[in-house]
């Protein structure tokens, strides 16, 4: 069985790369739903329908462990996938998200006030605050929807992204730790750090490799079923020269296949 990595688009390649670097021996299949990106402003019903299609596709590719790299899809669908979809349709498949590992990382230094930025849907779901408070009930959570960032990053507009980050950062001046709760934000983590020099920035590309490593160490029943050919396949639902360019920045020899 292979490891599947799913994102609404190409932002999740940052997370896929981190996983592949931390655990290179396994076989990986990436699927980016580029035809429907961005998920961050879609309704929960649409997000669930697209994510279910993506899970079925990755399962057909023989993925037995699937990481949903997209925060928005994790926020809206993970519970349903784990509690309803897998038991009924894919009992041998394990689906994990990015929110719980990020919350664990955020709380590890004992800060009592945590900031969160993400897409409108992720922030509206309040999932970060809910999960943070499950572990540390009196933690204070300051959440902010940051809708200008995904379009700016997708368009390679880092000047626009910096302008937005300068404004968004004003909400977090006195906050000791900030979760970047979106696949695209590791690409601008340096800008967040620049505008918030005293804040611990929690970026998912820095934590997901270690978290998956730990997970597999404690779940030998899954780890032993994973194939070890070191292969990587990358699928998207829509292909364009600009997507290939973006992907090549992270994986110079990448071959994107359209499904
Ligand atoms: N992948 C999404 C997330 O992590 C960001 C892009 C989108 O809105 O689809 O929330």
Per-residue pLDDT of 190-237, as tens digits, reads 999 999 999 999 999 999 999 999 999 999 999 999 999 999 999 999
How confident is the model at residue 128, as a pLDDT?
Answer: 98
**How far is Cα 118 from Cα 184, in angstroms, rounded to an integer?**
10
How confident is the model at residue 241, as a pLDDT?
Answer: 85
How confident is the model at residue 243, as a pLDDT?
Answer: 82
**How far is Cα 97 from Cα 176, in angstroms, rounded to an integer?**
25
Q: Which of 70, 96, 152, 161 is catalytic?
A: 70
What token pair was written down for 252?
């110079």
Write down how long the chain is: 259
Other C-beta atoms closer than 10 Å to the C-beta of 7 total 30
Element (H, E) at 258: strand 256-258
Name every residue whose Cβ is closer than 8 Å to that of residue 240 and which is 6 or more positions away in sequence.
34
Q: Is the pLDDT of residue 245 over 90?
A: no
How confident is the model at residue 242, as a pLDDT?
Answer: 79
Q: How far does Cα 21 stand from its chain's mean position?
A: 16
User: If you average pLDDT over residues 241-249, what whole number do you get?
Assistant: 85
Q: Write down the CATH number for the domain with range 100-203.
A: 3.40.50.1860
What token pair was written down for 95?
């689906």
> How confident is residue 246, by pLDDT bands cut at 50, 70 and 90?
confident
Looking at the CA of residue 121, tell me the nearest atom of ligand 1: 10
pLDDT in tens, 43-90: 999 999 999 999 999 999 999 999 999 999 999 999 999 999 999 999
Name every residue whose Cβ is closer than 8 Å to that of residue 207 and which is 6 or more positions away in sequence.
101, 102, 105
How confident is the model at residue 154, as a pLDDT?
Answer: 79
Q: Which of 74, 72, 81, 75 is nearest to 37 (CA)?
A: 72
| Segments in 30-119 forming alpha helices (H) | 44-60, 71-80, 86-89, 99-107
User: If you average pLDDT over residues 27-33, what whole number do you get?
Assistant: 97
Higher pLDDT, 41 or 191: 191
Domain boundaries, the chain: 2-97+207-258, 100-203
Q: Which residue among 8, 68, 73 has the greatest number of ligand 1 atoms within 8 angstroms of its CB, and so is best to mutate? A: 8
Q: Which of 69, 72, 58 is nearest to 14 (CA)?
A: 69
Task: Indicate if ligand 1 lies below 6 Å from the C-beta of 39.
Answer: yes
- CATH entry 3.90.105.10 includes domain 2-97+207-258: no
Same topology, domains 2-97+207-258 and 100-203? Answer is yes
Regarding pTM above 0.85, the answer is yes
pLDDT in tens, 93-144: 999 999 999 999 999 999 999 999 999 999 999 999 999 999 999 999 999 9
Q: Is the peptide bond before 38 cis (omega within 30 degrees of 0)?
A: yes
Q: What is the mean pLDDT of the chain?
A: 96
- The question of whether 70 is a catalytic residue gets the answer yes
How confident is the model at residue 173, as a pLDDT?
Answer: 93
């Amino acid at each position: 069985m292979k490891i599947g990595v799913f994102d609404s688009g190409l932002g999740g390649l940052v997370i896929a790369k981190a996983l592949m670097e931390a655990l290179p021996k396994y076989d990986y299949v990436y699927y980016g739903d580029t035809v429907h990106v961005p998920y961050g402003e879609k309704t929960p019903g649409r997000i669930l329908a697209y994510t279910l299609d993506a899970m079925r596709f990755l399962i057909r590719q023989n993925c037995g462990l699937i990481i949903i790299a997209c925060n928005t899809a994790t926020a809206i669908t993970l519970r349903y996938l784990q509690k309803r979809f897998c038991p009924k349709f894919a009992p041998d498949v394990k689906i994990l998200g990015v929110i719980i590992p990020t919350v664990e990382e955020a709380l590890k230094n004992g800060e009592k006030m945590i900031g969160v930025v993400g897409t409108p849907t992720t922030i509206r779901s309040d999932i970060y605050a809910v999960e943070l408070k499950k572990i540390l009930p009196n933690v204070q959570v300051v959440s902010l929807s940051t809708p200008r960032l995904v379009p700016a990053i997708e368009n390679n507009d880092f000047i626009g992204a910096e302008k937005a980050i300068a404004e968004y950062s004003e909400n977090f001046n006195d906050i000791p730790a900030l979760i970047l709760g979106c696949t695209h934000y590791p690409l601008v983590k340096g800008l967040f750090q620049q505008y918030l020099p005293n804040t611990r920035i929690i970026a998912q590309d820095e934590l997901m490799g270690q978290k998956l490593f730990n997970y597999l160490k404690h779940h030998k029943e899954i780890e032993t079923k994973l194939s070890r050919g070191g292969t990587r396949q990358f699928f998207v639902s829509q292909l364009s020269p600009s997507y290939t360019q973006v992907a090549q920045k992270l994986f110079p020899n990448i071959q994107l296949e359209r499904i």
